[in-house]
Amino acid sequence: MQSPSVHSINGLSPGCVISSLASKNTAATPCRDECQFETIMTTLITGGTGKTGSALARLLHATDHPVLIATRRGAAPEPFKAVTFDWHNPSTFENPFKTDPSIDRVFLVAPDDMEPLAHMKPFIDLAVSKGVKRFVLITATQVDKGGPIYGKVHQYLADIGVDYTVLRPTWFIENFGSYSQGIIENDEITSVTKDGRIPFIGVEDIAKAAFDALVAEKSPNTDYYVIGPELWSYNEVAAALTEILGRKITHRSLTDEEQIAFYQSIGLPKEYAVLLNASEARVAEGVEEAIVGNPKAIVGKVKLRDYLEANKDLWKKA
């Protein structure tokens, strides 16, 4: 499978097996001298049916690390084992540990609401009481520790003394596929970013960064930006799509009000839509571009143009 390389968090090779105290699921993989033969525990992947979580599940599976996927439907594609889990239903929180008592690390994808910590804190506490030693959380470039929404979850992990890594990706390359309607129907991309540029990141690269943080012998216990290798404005993406699709695609600037209304139209709560719009507006001020070269930035390999070319059928007119 594709295993795009990013700057490895600790330089360990992906096949290296993590150290643990458990005796169940024992498996051994020869790796670098410092970790030789160790016992493998299970990683619980919340959001494991989503873009990043499923890419992480494939990476862990390919290197013989047991995985359990948490999902509201309780089902995941072969070969993965899944468990019913809903952040908004605490009666499901015990399910993963009943299904697999060997879970010792958890990948956290927060629910889309304004107070994720209210839902996540009881689960994180339960997980620690069940023997979980390490968490990897996804937030976003503009979400600082202690800041609103996911920033509070970041702060909580840092406060309780567990091993943790917070990954702060910029805008996903795959958003162009997830939100393809405007390109298909109106031949346009809309945003409030003006000429601001974004180091768009591929989910395979975020998954690789999460993989590194989960299997590293020593947990980083800090946060990292996760960015792609190139900066693109939406004007430049529209020009690339024009070439690739053979029809004119434009980037149309929206007002803040229009963008907020769009986010609400796809089901986001107003307060959340306002915050999302504000982070997008900061792109116009150069905030995302300024992350390039930051020593705390993990830089992926997936290139936006390669994704657009490989997936051009996504934007075909019906």
Ligand X SMILES: NC(=O)c1ccc[n+]([C@@H]2O[C@H](COP(=O)([O-])OP(=O)(O)OC[C@H]3O[C@@H](n4cnc5c(N)ncnc54)[C@H](OP(=O)(O)O)[C@@H]3O)[C@@H](O)[C@H]2O)c1
Q: Which of the stretches 68-76, 191-199, 267-275, 280-288 binds ligand X when contact is defined by CB under 6 A?
A: 68-76
Q: Does 135 bind ligand X (CB under 6 A)?
A: no
Region 223-282 residues binding ligand X, contact defined as CB under 6 A: none
Q: Which of the stretches 69-77, 228-236, 252-260, 300-308 binds ligand X when contact is defined by CB under 6 A?
A: 69-77
Q: How far is CA 11 from CA 3, 64, 201, 216, 229, in A?
A: 15, 19, 21, 8, 19
Exactly one of 9, 16, 63, 85 binds ligand X (CB under 6 A); that residue is: 85
Q: Does 140 bind ligand X (CB under 6 A)?
A: yes
8 Å CB contact between 139 and 145? no
- Beta strand pairing call for 197-198 and 232-233: antiparallel
Three-state helix/strand/coil letters over 255-306? CHHHHHHHHHHCCCCHHHHHHHHHHHHHHCCCCCHHHCCCCCEEECCCCHHH
Question: Minimum distance from CB of 13 to ligand X (Å)?
Answer: 25
Q: Does 50 bind ligand X (CB under 6 A)?
A: yes
Q: What tokens were used for 287?
A: 């905030």
Integer Cα distance of 195 and 236 in angstroms: 9
Exactly one of 88, 129, 161, 267 binds ligand X (CB under 6 A); that residue is: 88
Q: Does 101 bind ligand X (CB under 6 A)?
A: no
Integer Cα distance of 106 and 83 in angstroms: 14
Q: Does 124 bind ligand X (CB under 6 A)?
A: no
Q: How far is CA 37 from CA 21, 32, 41, 217, 301, in A?
A: 12, 10, 13, 12, 31
Q: What does the DSSP 8-state code read for residue 192?
A: S
Question: Minimum distance from CB of 248 to ligand X (Å)?
Answer: 25
Question: Minimum distance from CB of 219 to ligand X (Å)?
Answer: 20
Q: Which of the stretches 48-56, 97-105, 228-236, 268-276 binds ligand X when contact is defined by CB under 6 A?
A: 48-56
Region 143-182 residues binding ligand X, contact defined as CB under 6 A: 169, 171-172, 175
Q: Does 73 bind ligand X (CB under 6 A)?
A: yes
8 Å CB contact between 150 and 140? yes
Q: Does 87 bind ligand X (CB under 6 A)?
A: yes
* Dihedral sign of CA atoms 123, 128, 130, 131 in order: positive
Q: Does 47 bind ligand X (CB under 6 A)?
A: yes
**Which residues of this chain interact with ligand X, rule CB under 6 A?**
46-53, 71-73, 85-88, 109-111, 138, 140, 169, 171-172, 175, 203
